[in-house]
Chains A and B, each alone.
Chain A
Amino acid sequence: MKLLIIEDEKELVESMVTYLQHESYVCEVAFDFKEAQDKIETSEYECIALDISLPGGSGLKLLQELKNNNKSDGVIIISAKNSIDDRIHGLQLGADDYLVKPFHLSELAARINAIIRRKMHNGSNVISFNEISIDLLTKEVRVENSMVDLTRKEYELLLYFISNQRKVISKNALISHLWSHEIGTGENIDFIYTHIKNLRKKIQEKGGGDYIKSLYGMGYKLTDQ
């Protein structure tokens, strides 16, 4: 699967590529408007991460060209502007999602995964990790064939882990995913641990493996290795 990252901050691009280079993802990069235009015209991508303010032109113009040419590439806008108007404008032009800087790479990965899943019209809305499977339409979680009864936050947490499987996710990233930017991180954010403990327990009760590993309490990783 091919991804295109259009962003002029080289350091940020480097981190994004490093994180997203998964066995099934191939990342291509464009640092300015012209380069991006060429790449979009010549090939197709499963998903494009698009910065709005680019040297040489607006990212929104690229988005417009993409839609005018009836391209089916998924688009996630990454912008430093947290303005409702920009968000609405971007989504109206046909972007699939809008992510405000600064963001955690795990958040970007989860959203790109979601866009790609929606684009692949293969009828299956189920994603799985070993014996755990999630039906995205009914929001049902199963271990083998038995249903796991999860709260909304636990469901979101599991989905986030599966979207970032085998990656270490910081506590801060988990919190900002579950509660957007509402709560700051200080010593009293450890209640994220309660959520994870409950999730692990519920999966193990249904016979699932204990896949969520803690890294000295600073981060977590869904892994079977």
Chain B
Amino acid sequence: MKLQAQYNRISIISSIIVLLIAGIGYYFLIHYVLKEQLDNTLRVEQVEIQDFIQTEHTLPAATTYKDQKIEFKKADQVFPQSFRTFRLYDEEEKENELCRQLLFPVQVDGQWYTASVTKSQEETEEMIGLILLITLGLILILSSLLFFASRFFVKRLWQPFRATLSAIKSFNLDAPVPIKTEKAAIHEFNELNESVNLMTEKVVKDYLSLKHFTDHASHEIQTPLAIVISKLDVLIQDPALSEKNLTHLQSIYNAVDKMSKLIQSLLLLAKIENNLFSESSVVDIRAAVRNKFLEFDEWMQEKKLALNNEMKDLHVTMNPQLADTLISNLVINAIKHADGQGEICIHSDNKSFMISNPGRNALDSHRIFDRFWKSEHSDGTGLGLAIVKRICDQYGYSIQYEFKEGVHFFTLVF
């Protein structure tokens, strides 16, 4: 529900409730006041009658004047005075009229009489009716005013908010420019705009510094690594090195290589996350996979692995460098972790690519694509499959791992 509609609903409902309560309260109050006034008139009449009896020692004539009627009836005994309201048939107007009556005892020559003064209450009722009508009219006018006001004026009031919203919607880190909004007449919107401006400025700044971090980290770490490797390359030229020392050097080489690979993988992940691989072209997946296996032909021979090729034509539009990394990581993973003799099977149709390798135990399918997750015997960086997953996420591809009857299956759906 729109804020405006919600606001309308609340304000209209609450004003109707308030006006209704006020109307009802008003009704009873007026009713009470007018009745008191009527009763007072009746009492004035009572006093006049009593005064008349006091001086004349006789009953005044029973009269009917306008809407006022005075009557006397013999009574057996004295009784307390009382007011009552009742309906009386009016001869003139041919209808039942609401009347207010004061009954009180009077004594003339030792005889008790019931004196009654009756007055029509119609006028009062009419007035109350009018008040009710005015109240209802007010409710109607106020709610329709509220409705139209919100429809035409509130919409204009929200205009700066809409402008800010559309600026936020079109904010894109591929073209990182902070949002600049115009000054609005309303304080709250200005506050919102200021926060949005500050926030996007910070986002853009952080994004750019993260982007530059990739370059800086690469430079800062690669240079000391380059020195270590170059020193090793010079050191092994020494003919006096013993076999034992050469073995140590081999370990250093391997560790440095691994570190270098690790840093490259981390930088690659950061680059993918920073969308630094935006350009794309059509990639022939079948050819890419075939070329990878040609590259690693001797490795396959060494591990006594056969290749079962069931690849069909498969073209995908993506960044060629990422496509190469994707295929390369999957192929290397399959050859590297192929356990025992057997075959690596590659299969593809027009939508998916599957690669399988023999293995002993099922791997944790929930964690296999996590960063730095490694099977017990792996000496890799633990980033190869994480990179595969990240590339898939980037393009919305799905990658799935399954283990069936001693074979690991990796299925990639483009």
Contact = CB atoms under 8 A, between A and B. Distances in A.
Interface of A: 9, 11-12, 15-16, 18-19, 53, 80-84, 100-106, 151, 153, 167-168, 170-173, 176, 179, 181-188, 190-191, 194-195, 198, 215-216, 218-219
Given A185-B258, A188-B336, A15 B231 contact: yes
B236 A80 contact: no
Interface residues of B, number: 47
7 closest Cβ pairs, A-B complex: A15-B230, A186-B379, A102-B226, A191-B302, A80-B219, A105-B233, A101-B226
B237 A11 contact: no
A181 B260 contact: yes
B258 to A, nearest CB: 6
A184 B233 CA distance: 18
B206 interface: no
A210 B196 CA distance: 73
Nearest to B238: A168
A194 B264 contact: no
B307 to A, nearest CB: 15
B237 A168 contact: yes
Interface of B: 215, 218-220, 222-223, 225-234, 236-237, 243, 246-247, 249-250, 253-254, 256-258, 260-261, 264, 267, 295-299, 301-303, 321, 328, 332, 336, 379-381
Nearest to A10: B227
Contact of A184 (B225, B246, B257): B257
Contact of A12 (B230, B297, B302, B321): B230
Contacts of B303: 191
Contacts of A80: 218-220, 222-223, 226
B122 to A, nearest CB: 96
A216 B227 contact: no
A81 B215 CA distance: 6
A186 to B, nearest CB: 4
11 contacts: A11-B227, A15-B231, A80-B219, A80-B222, A82-B264, A105-B234, A168-B237, A184-B261, A188-B379, A218-B247, A219-B236
Given A15-B233, A101-B222, A172-B254, A184 B380 contact: yes
A167 B233 CA distance: 9
A171 B251 CA distance: 11
Given A9-B223, A101-B225, A186-B379, A176 B257 contact: yes
A170 B236 contact: yes
B299 to A, nearest CB: 5
